[in-house]
Amino acid sequence: MANFARHERDGLASAGGDSPPPPATEAADDAAAPTEIDERLLRAMADLDNLRKRFQREVVREREAERSRVAAEWLPVIDDLDRALEQDPADRSDALFEGVRVVRDHALDVLARLGFPRFEAVGERFDPARHEAVGAVDADAPPGTIVAVVRPGYGTPEVILRPAAVVVAANRGTS
């Protein structure tokens, strides 16, 4: 019986047995497969990283836009507080005046912390990106110089929440 087992074993080995040795081309494909999978994995990881970065940029952009929208909604309130402070001193209570001034100053501080400080720009050169000309007058200033502010502006040179409404010096006529 031992001879039979040996003969069977030798016969199977010569006939190829249960698992024939792989051809040379399949062995090469098996060696390349992990490299292709690795490349696909790296691409997927890079795509995920790019998606994460894009999403983060969009979140920051949306937060800035919402902060601007909310701050802009408060500008008419601050304008009303400014008008209340311009009231004739004879018609106002000093305690009420001081309370309105404190509230207005607090609101201006909040806007500044949000990134929208107040600017008025009297004496500066007119800049259409930061100022809105609402009038022109003859003045003892170079043409294009801001001589009065009708409504203050809010923002930074990079981000303007509202341009300042200004009156500029006109060209001096020659006589």
What pairing do the DSSP bridges indicate for beta strands 146-151 and 153-155?
A: unpaired
Fold of domain 117-175 = Nucleotide Exchange Factor Grpe; Chain A, domain 2 (2.30.22)
Q: What is the pTM of this model?
A: 0.65
Q: pLDDT (tens digit, 9 = 90+) per residue, 140-164?
A: 889 999 999 999 999 998 999 999 9
Q: Where are the domains of the chain?
A: 42-115, 117-175
pLDDT band, residue 59 (cuts 50/70/90) = very high
Q: For position 65, what pLDDT does the model report?
A: 93
Q: Whole-angstrom Cα distance, residue 52 to residue 167?
A: 48
Mean local confidence (pLDDT), 55-81: 94
Q: For position 175, what pLDDT does the model report?
A: 42
A 10 A CB-CB count for 153 gives: 22
> In angstroms, how far is CA 173 from the centroid of its own chain?
46
pLDDT band, residue 78 (cuts 50/70/90) = very high
> What distances in angstroms separate CA 87 from CA 108, 118, 147, one per listed residue?
19, 21, 23
Q: For position 174, what pLDDT does the model report?
A: 45
**Residues near 152 by beta carbon (within 8 Å), at least 6 away in sequence:** 82, 118, 119, 120, 164
Comparing 88 with 1, which gets the higher pLDDT?
A: 88
Decide: residue 127, CB within 10 A, 0-12 exposed, 13-18 middle, 19+ buried: middle
